[in-house]
Structure 1
């Protein structure tokens, strides 16, 4: 049930990202809400859950985006795993943790998407130009949204679908 709800959350996030945030682009880019949720979920639940959230979130983007299956799934899965490793190492109630993790995760994820896309497509590209025009504005947008999303998301993980069962 938890993964069905997570999939539903990612689909809704993608719809909001594609509709509402299309009207509010920053430097021509939209935020990556799915990545934000994957990072927060991984940070709160650990690497195994982070991998699953990354896979579900990345496949959701791949299915809707429609270019190559795996172009977003693999980088988002890796990002979910790596930030899940921080679960027991950071104080989750710290105001700066969501901002800093989203900054690092956006850079990592977008760089992996760039490298994977470069290897699949085979076209020459300039990472510096991609960083300036895509990665950096997305990083800023995501980090500005993260404190507002994190508080609600953190509370929701303590209840209902996201709460770990007590054994």
Structure 2
């Protein structure tokens, strides 16, 4: 049940920004829900499995978008590692600190996307890059108080909790 729920959340994270969040965009800026979900998963897993989730989610997003294969794979792997590293040093129960962490990690992830996009030949101005990085990071941080308590509780006590084979 745990893996089915995570797969459904991944699919919704891919679909919702292009559908429902299209109407809730600010100046064309939408949240990166897959990055937000990758941050949450990496915070609640050990680093190898968190980075593997990030690689898988990034590859799924690259295949979904159909361009620049590898861009989101690398980005979400970096985001997963950074999220795990920060979660080990910060208190996960503090929602304000988690909001700040999501803001910082999303800024880094969006900066990696912008850097890889410039390397792929896209011509973005620095103003557009700054607006995108700050905008997506703010949007993701605003979503944390709504989404994180449910996800965190589910990772600790609910359906997303890892159960060893002998408990199943």
Q: TM-score, normalised by structure 1?
A: 0.88
Shift of 1:4: 5.2
* Deviations, residues 1-27 of structure 1 (Å, cap 9, x unaligned): 755543331111211221110111012
Rate the CA distance shift 1:52–1:159 in 2: closer, same or farther, 3 A: farther
User: Could you say which residue in structure 1 is the equivalent of 2:117?
Assistant: 117
Q: Which runs of 5+ in 1 are unaligned?
A: none
User: Could you say which residue in structure 1 is the equivalent of 2:39?
Assistant: 39
User: Could you say which residue in structure 1 is the equivalent of 2:136?
Assistant: 138
Q: Per the alignment, in what secondary structure is the counterpart of residue 19 of structure 2?
A: helix
Shift of 1:102: 1.1
Q: Which runs of 5+ in 2 are unaligned?
A: none
| Residue pair 2:86, 2:101 contacting (<8 A) in 1 also | no
Structure 1 residue runs of 4 or more that deviate by more than 6 Å after TM superposition: none
The root-mean-square deviation of aligned C-alpha atoms, in Å, is 2.0
Q: Per the alignment, in what secondary structure is the counterpart of residue 28 of structure 2?
A: coil
Which stretch of the first structure deviates more once superposed, 13-22 or 44-53? 44-53
User: Could you say which residue in structure 2 is the equivalent of 1:153?
Assistant: 151
Q: TM-score, normalised by structure 2?
A: 0.87
User: Could you say which residue in structure 2 is the equivalent of 1:129?
Assistant: 128
Equivalent positions of 1:16-27 (< 5 A) are 16-27=16-27
Equivalent positions of 1:1-167 (< 5 A) are 2-3=2-3, 5-121=5-121, 123-132=122-131, 134-159=132-157, 161-166=159-164
Paired positions, count: 165
Shift of 1:140: 1.2
